[in-house]
Amino acid sequence: MTPSPHPPDPGAPRTRPALVRWLEGAELTLGALMLVLIFTLMLTQALQRHLPVAGWVWTGELARFGLVWLAFSVIGYLVGRDEHITLKLIDFFAGPRLLRGVWILANLVVAAVAAGMAADAAALVFGGSPQTTPALGVPLSWTYAIPMAGLALAALRALANTLLPAPPAPESLPAEGAR
pLDDT in tens, 84-113: 777 777 777 778 888 888 888 989 999 999
pLDDT for 48: 87
- Residue among 109, 108, 141 at smallest CA distance from 122: 141
Give residue 6's pLDDT band: very low, low, confident or very high (50, 70, 90): very low
Instruction: Tell me the pLDDT tens digit for each residue of 62-71.
Output: 999 999 999 9
Please tell me which residue, 171 or 134, carries the higher pLDDT value: 134
The SS3 call for residue 40 is: helix
Phi, psi of 148 (to 5 degrees): -65, -45
Alpha-carbon dihedral sign for residues 141, 74, 158, 108: negative
The number of beta carbons lying within 10 Å of the beta carbon of residue 56 is 14
Distance CA 126, CA 136 (A): 20
**How much is the pTM?**
0.76
> Whats the size of the chain, residue-wise?
179
Categorize the per-residue pLDDT at 11 as very low, low, confident or very high, splitting at 50, 70 and 90.
very low
For the chain, what is the radius of gyration of the CA atoms?
A: 21
Cα distance between residue 124 and residue 118, in whole Å: 10
* Mean of all residue pLDDT scores within the chain: 82
Per the CB < 8 A criterion, the answer to whether 62 and 83 are in contact is no
Residues near 165 by beta carbon (within 8 Å), at least 6 away in sequence: 100
